Amino acid sequence: MGDTISFPHLDYAALWPMLILFGAACVGVLVEAFVPKAWRNTVQLVLSLLAMGAALVMVIKRAAAGVTAANAHTASDAISIDKAGLFLQGALLVLGIVSLLLIGERTLETGGPFVAQAAITVGSEADRRQAARESGATEVYPLALFALAGMLLFVTANDLLVMFVALEVFSLPLYLLCALARRKRLLSQEAAVKYFLLGAFASAFFLFGVAMVYGFANAVDFNSIHANISTSDKPFALLLIGLAMLAIGLLFKVAAVPFHVWTPDVYQGAPTPVTAFMAACTKAAAFGGLARVLYVGFDRSNWNFTPVLGVIAVLTMLVGAVLAVTQTDLKRLLAYSSVANAGYLLVGVLGGGAAGLSSMLFYLVAYGFAIIAAFALLTLVRDADGEATHLSRWAGLGRRSPFFASVFTFLLLAFAGLPLTSGFTAKFAVFGAAIGGGQTWLVLFGVLSSIILAFPYLRVIVMMWLSEPGDTTPSVSIPGALTSAALMVGVLVTLLLGVAPSSLLDLANNAASFVR
């Protein structure tokens, strides 16, 4: 009789970015039901951009107001809106806006890459084509908003159960987005199934890890886990098994070796704008969550996980680089490049301390803009069958479309880590943090893998510029306003972060702290 229900204190000012995106996504679902088809694309695009812009403004206001240990936590300490969390939220929103420009351009196109779910289930092939033409697949907008909102929650979760819920919230929409390719529909649906299975493995390992950690600490929030590591009298094996399973679940999401298995298939089969969104935003969210788990919950056990994660980082860098050499499809080449870059990010994470976290934050932003620009350019090289992603089709492209070939050459050189590009600055930052943290052996393997990874990039450049264009060399379509904006932003940021990176480096240094 005397028991009362107590509700958690909610700091709505801190939660506004997530609430705005969740609310806009729900409104987007209603738009799909009630807005006429002729207006649906425009309404959804404007609604999504306004929601992301408003959420970004709230993040900036929160950061400007200052973050302290007293005001960082909310929802009974289940969510921590600290400096690192705000930086990651801002990065996700900016990358999400640029990705949405690319998605919006391709959705507005007649015969664009997206097919609606209705078109997948209609009977005959003629009916499916008609449904695809009529529907416009505008459900990509609320799905993207739900995914991005889940990512914002994931990088600020201070509790393993909240992190698990956020993991599912941002993963489930991505499974559907992968299946919405209008062309090569079977390949797209296969990619969605494979991505779903990868996500299922990640969720299962993560949840079993939560159970093991709870058995050790009798709690799932990071503060209690951290406090119990040195004081609990329960078997330490529970903690080690739990940490291993949590790490495996998160390493599936970052596409680290050997947990990368079907990632190249997903990159190849998904619509290219969705691939760009996943390559930039999902990687940022996954590494943000991994860093929070390791730095906040388990930093007292760093001697346990550093050697194992170091071996995984080495395998990720080398396997990603070596397999990229063998690829003949540009989307698969960028997929294995993404795997190798996950290894470089792990080097930054294992560097430890503020320097390691700062280098990881900078790398996520630099890589995110470059990969979005690269996929934006891939959407422009087309033939009668759609996007021409096979490497042989790009032979002589530099003579047919020198401007776009020059842009792609610059982006490939950035991925290779050449000076005056963001890739060089980002790799220098993570390798410097690793040397400062006593992980020089990781840097040696990182440099070796960078040398190997430069070969497939240079091979593409040589084919574009030193080969004669043939009858099968595709044309480069004139980009629309939204694709032009996404491509221009990605290229300019890649250049600016190579020439004058100090502003973002200072911002990352100031944000390189979690509040426990």
The string of pLDDT tens digits covering residues 445-468 is: 999 999 999 999 999 999 989 877
Q: In the structure, what pLDDT confidence band is assigned to residue 471 with cuts at 50, 70 and 90?
A: low
Q: What percent of the chain has pLDDT over 70?
A: 88
Amino acid at 355: A
Nearest to 170 by CA among 153, 157, 151, 156: 151
Dist CA 84 CA 358 (whole Å): 9
**Residues whose CB falls within 8 Å of the CB of residue 21, separated by 6 or more in sequence, listed in order:** 51, 52, 55, 145, 146, 148, 149, 152
Between 181 and 155, residue with greater pLDDT: 155
Rg of the chain over CA atoms, in angstroms? 22
Dist CA 134 CA 131 (whole Å): 5
Dist CA 281 CA 138 (whole Å): 20
Dist CA 111 CA 128 (whole Å): 13
Cβ atoms of 189 and 293 within 8 Å: the answer is no
Cβ atoms of 170 and 124 within 8 Å: the answer is no
In the block, residue with structure tokens 């980009």: 479
What is the pLDDT averaged over residues 409-424? Answer: 93
Indicate whether 106 pLDDT > 90: no
What is the pLDDT averaged over residues 283-296? Answer: 91
Indicate whether 119 pLDDT > 60: no
Between 126 and 107, residue with greater pLDDT: 107
The pLDDT score that the predictor gives to residue 58 is 93
What is the pLDDT averaged over residues 159-175? Answer: 92
pLDDT digits (tens, 9 = 90+) for 226-250: 887 777 667 778 888 888 899 999 9
Indicate whether 166 pLDDT > 70: yes
Phi/psi of residue 8, nearest 5 degrees: -70, 145
Indicate whether 134 pLDDT > 80: no
Dist CA 178 CA 147 (whole Å): 12
What is the pLDDT averaged over residues 349-355? Answer: 85
Indicate whether 408 pLDDT > 90: yes
Nearest to 356 by CA among 443, 438, 433: 433
pLDDT digits (tens, 9 = 90+) for 65-104: 877 666 676 777 788 888 889 999 999 999 999 999 998 8
**Residues whose CB falls within 8 Å of the CB of residue 408, separated by 6 or more in sequence, listed in order:** 374, 377, 460, 464
Tell me how far the alpha carbon of residue 112 is from its chain's centroid: 23
The pLDDT score that the predictor gives to residue 400 is 83
Could you tell me the CA-to-CA distances from 231 to 216, 254, 337, 490 in Å, in that order? 11, 32, 43, 48
The reply to whether the predicted model has a pTM over 0.85 is yes
Give me the half-sphere count of Cα atoms (radius 13 Å) on the Cβ side of residue 252: 21
Indicate whether 171 pLDDT > 70: yes
In the block, residue with structure tokens 């229900």: 5
Cβ atoms of 51 and 20 within 8 Å: the answer is yes
3-state secondary structure of 476: strand
Question: How many CB atoms lie under 10 A from the CB of residue 354?
Answer: 17
438: left (phi over 0), alpha (psi -120 to 50) or beta: left
Question: Would you list the DSSP string of 96-107?
Answer: HHHHHHHHHHHH
Q: In the structure, what pLDDT confidence band is assigned to residue 488 with cuts at 50, 70 and 90?
A: very high
The pLDDT score that the predictor gives to residue 92 is 95
Between 428 and 480, residue with greater pLDDT: 428
Indicate whether 476 pLDDT > 90: no
Indicate whether 484 pLDDT > 80: yes
What is the pLDDT averaged over residues 317-322? Answer: 94
Q: What percent of the chain has pLDDT over 90?
A: 51
Indicate whether 394 pLDDT > 90: no
Give me the half-sphere count of Cα atoms (radius 13 Å) on the Cβ side of residue 491: 20
Which of 7-16, 97-106, 419-428 is the least confident region? 7-16
